[in-house]
Structure 1
C-alpha cells in the first residue's frame, strides 16, 4: 500500500510536531503529499452565555497562533522537497471534522500526535487521537 496523500492533524503541541516529522520521513520514502490540518474552537464552556464576540476573539487568537505554527511546518517540508498544504478549520467537534476532512479529501493515511493521557485525565480531557483512530477508514499512525 502506498501512502500518496498523508493528513497530519495538529494541535500545535510537541507530539504534533513529532508526528509531522514522522510524516515527513514517510512522505520522502513514498513520494507523498502532506496536508496539515488544525481545528480551532471557541470556548464552549462559558463565553456563549455572555458574549459571542469573546468567542470570536478567542478563535482569532487561536487562528493567528496556528498560522504561525503551520508556516514553520510548511517551511520545513519545503526544505525537504515535500509538497504541503495547510488548512485551519473552525470546529465544534474536532474528531468529527478530522474524520470528515480525511474522507472528503481521500487521504491514504493519518499521522497524528497523541499526548498519551490515561486515567482521569483521559476521561476529563478526552482523546482526539483515539476518536479519530476509531472512526477513520484509513490507516492511522499515532506518535507519542
Structure 2
C-alpha cells in the first residue's frame, strides 16, 4: 500500500471501500482474489472500476453506435462481479467510468471519495523509469488523495 504526494490522511482515516481497477486483461483480473481477501480482512466493501474509452465524435454520431461500448463494458464488470459473488460469496458493486485517459477518469472519480483504497495491477512494461509501476498506476499514485495498492499480476492467472 502506497501513499503518493497528494495522499490526504484526513480524508482516508480508514478503508471502507476497496476499489479494484480492471481493464479486461488477465493481469488486472489476477489481483481480484487477493483483493477479495483484503476486503474481507478490512471489513470493506469491494467495488470494481473500469474505464471505457470515449468514442470520437464521428464514431458516436453514426447510427446504431450510441451506447454499445458502454453496454458491453458494463456487461464485463457485471460478469466479474457475478463471478466473485458465486466463487467467494462476496458482494461486489461496480462502476464504469468514461474518458480518453484511464488515469484521469479514475482520478476524477476518486476526487470525491473518502475512506477508500485503490487496488490496481502494474504490467511494468512501460520503460526503465516505470518498472515499479506502469503509467496508469504511477499516475494514480501521484495524483490520488487515497492510499493505492499496486500489485504485480498473480502468475498463472
TM-score by length of 1: 0.75
CA offset at residue 40 of structure 1? 0.8
Tell me, yes or no, if structure 1 residue 103 matches structure 2 residue 115: no
Q: What is the CA deviation profile of residues 66-118 of structure 1, one whole-angstrom value per residue up to 9, with x for unaligned ones?
A: 22321222123323233321111221332122112123132421101222113
The equivalences for 1:1-144 within 5 A come to: 2-42=14-54, 48=57, 52-53=60-61, 57=65, 60-61=68-69, 63-79=70-86, 80-119=88-127, 127-144=135-152
Stretches of 4+ aligned residues off by more than 6 angstroms:
none
SS in 1 for 2:80: helix
Gaps of 5+ in 2: 1-12, 153-157
How far is the alpha carbon of 1:59 from its aligned partner?
6.3
TM-superposed CA distance for 1:53, in Å, is 2.5
How many Å apart are 1:4 and its aligned residue?
2.0
Give, in whole Å, the separation in 2 of the partners of 1:128 and 1:58: 27
Shift in CA distance, 107/21, structure 1 to aligned 2, threshold 3 Å? farther
Q: Which has the higher contact order (CA 8 A, sep 6+)?
A: 2
RMSD value over aligned CA atoms? 2.7
The number of aligned residues is 134
